[in-house]
């Protein structure tokens, strides 16, 4: 995704000595004159307003401030000497930067009451307009939550019935597996065989389909097209639609926050409905017999027809002590072994299905 800058806003910090809130760009507490410590955290203000001062914005873009290793004074990242003690700043430690401090608070926050005199003040105020006391931070106005109707869920009886049915299904599946695995051997004699060969006949027919315009066959007839999102990418492109997320504020380490959005770009293209000639099955030619010499059908084809998928099925009927069993060989080579009257050992499961056969030598 691409990070798009919306603008810059003031942050604030709380003096650890007296608890007063100060602008992020202020290096000394306005209430008690204590210097800003190097480990103090910048926070969002209750209501953020985009900064218009180009010089302040340029300072924020220049990089995080540094703290003098000798006296601790905060200096601009471009400073070579400390503004307080004139010490060399080449070894100065830069403030941490890049942390997300919260969603962009552009909506008005409720007024806050002074803890000392009770006077109502703007949420952006740091000192009471009446008595000058430090004001607590106002909480941002919470967005109204949608009323969601929650599902009541199933009753105990319904859950009991559902679990009971699931239990029966599990038991039934286990029973089928156990029964199908139990087998017995019987000797059967081949009473008859049958086979069927089938060949699909395909023809070129107009078929309606959908595809991106540049993938539509050259000989197709386009019926209609509409613009749809073909791909999403991180970088802008001609004709792409920009889609951005909720703005949020990032600490630049200068007392100023950068309001950014994560954006991606939807690239649209023509998605078309068309008709084109394609091979489709429209008929089936088949032959069947009851001998061991099957043969494929050989249908007559028109100019715009061709042979398609071939299928073959085989069946052998056994008699074992008056009971009839059916077996389906896998291929022609196996099928031709079942001469009439030949005897075979049949492995039969509980459901009277033939699982395997071997010659009765």
pLDDT digits (tens, 9 = 90+) for 79-132: 999 998 999 998 898 998 999 999 998 877 778 888 888 888 877 777 788 888
Q: What is the pLDDT of residue 107?
A: 79
What is each CA distance from 80 to 23, 24, 85, 155, 205, in whole angstroms? Answer: 24, 22, 12, 73, 80
> What is the domain partition of the chain in residue ranges?
1-142, 183-202+283-359, 203-251+264-275
Confidence category of residue 31, pLDDT binned at 50, 70, 90: confident
Considering only 36-40, 152-156, 241-245, 278-282, which range has the smallest mean pLDDT? 152-156
- The Cα 62–Cα 78 span in angstroms is 8
Q: 82: how many CB neighbours lie within 10 A of its CB?
A: 21
Residue 177: per-residue pLDDT: 65
pLDDT at position 141 over 50: no
User: Is the pLDDT assigned to residue 151 strictly greater than 70?
Assistant: no
| Residue 345, pLDDT score | 95
Q: Could you read off the pLDDT of 291-329 as tens digits, one per residue?
A: 999 999 999 999 989 999 999 999 999 999 999 999 999
Pick the CATH number of 183-202+283-359 from 1.10.357, 3.40.190, 2.40.160, 2.40.50: 2.40.50
Q: Please give the pLDDT value at position 188.
A: 95
Contact 348, 184 (CB under 8 A): yes
Q: According to the model, what pLDDT value does residue 116 have?
A: 85
The mean pLDDT of 226-252, rounded to a whole number, is 93
pLDDT at residue number 121: 82
Say what the pLDDT of residue 252 is: 94
Model confidence over 164-189: pLDDT tens digits? Answer: 787 787 767 776 566 556 779 999 99
Residue 139's pLDDT band, with cuts at 50, 70 and 90, is: low
The pLDDT assigned to 39 comes to 85
Instruction: Tell me the pLDDT of the chain averaged across its residues.
Output: 88
Q: Name the pTM for this structure.
A: 0.57
Residue pLDDT, tens place only, 181-216: 677 999 999 999 999 999 999 999 999 999 999 999
pLDDT score recorded for residue 120: 87
Q: Please say if the pLDDT value at position 145 is more than 70.
A: no
Tell me, what's the pLDDT at 322? 92
């Amino acid at each position: 995704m691409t990070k798009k800058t919306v603008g810059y806003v003031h942050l604030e910090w709380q003096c650890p000595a007296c608890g007063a809130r100060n602008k992020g760009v202020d290096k000394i507490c306005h209430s008690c004159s204590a210097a800003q410590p190097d480990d103090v955290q910048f926070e969002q203000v209750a209501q953020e307003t985009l900064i218009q001062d180009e010089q302040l914005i340029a300072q924020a873009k220049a990089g995080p401030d540094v703290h003098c290793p000798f006296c601790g004074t905060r200096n601009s990242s471009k400073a070579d000497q400390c503004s307080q003690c004139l010490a060399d700043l080449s070894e100065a430690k830069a403030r941490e930067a890049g942390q997300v401090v919260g969603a962009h608070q552009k909506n008005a926050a409720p007024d806050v009451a002074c803890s000392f005199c009770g006077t109502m003040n703007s949420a952006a105020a740091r000192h009471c307009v009446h008595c000058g006391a430090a004001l607590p931070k106002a909480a941002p106005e919470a967005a109204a939550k949608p009323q969601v109707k929650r599902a009541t869920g199933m009753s105990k009886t319904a859950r009991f019935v559902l679990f009971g049915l699931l239990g029966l299904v599990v038991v039934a599946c286990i029973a089928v597996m156990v029964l199908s695995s139990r087998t017995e051997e019987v000797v059967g004699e081949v009473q008859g065989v049958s086979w069927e060969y089938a060949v699909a006949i395909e023809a070129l027919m107009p078929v309606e389909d959908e595809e991106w315009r540049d993938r539509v066959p050259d000989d197709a007839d386009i019926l209609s097209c509409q613009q749809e999102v073909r791909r999403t990418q991180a970088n802008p492109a001609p004709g792409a639609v920009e889609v951005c997320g909720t703005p949020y504020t990032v600490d630049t380490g200068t007392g100023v926050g950068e309001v950014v959005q994560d954006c991606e770009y939807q690239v649209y293209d023509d998605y078309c409905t068309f008709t084109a000639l394609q091979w489709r099955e429209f008929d089936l030619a088949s032959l069947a017999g009851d001998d061991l010499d099957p043969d494929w059908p050989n249908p007559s084809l028109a100019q715009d027809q061709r042979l398609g998928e071939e299928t073959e099925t085989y069946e052998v009927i056994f008699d074992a002590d008056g009971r009839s069993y059916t077996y389906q060989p896998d291929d022609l080579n196996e099928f031709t072994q079942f001469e009439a009257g030949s005897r075979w050992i049949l492995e039969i499961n509980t459901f009277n299905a033939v699982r395997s056969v071997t010659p009765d030598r």
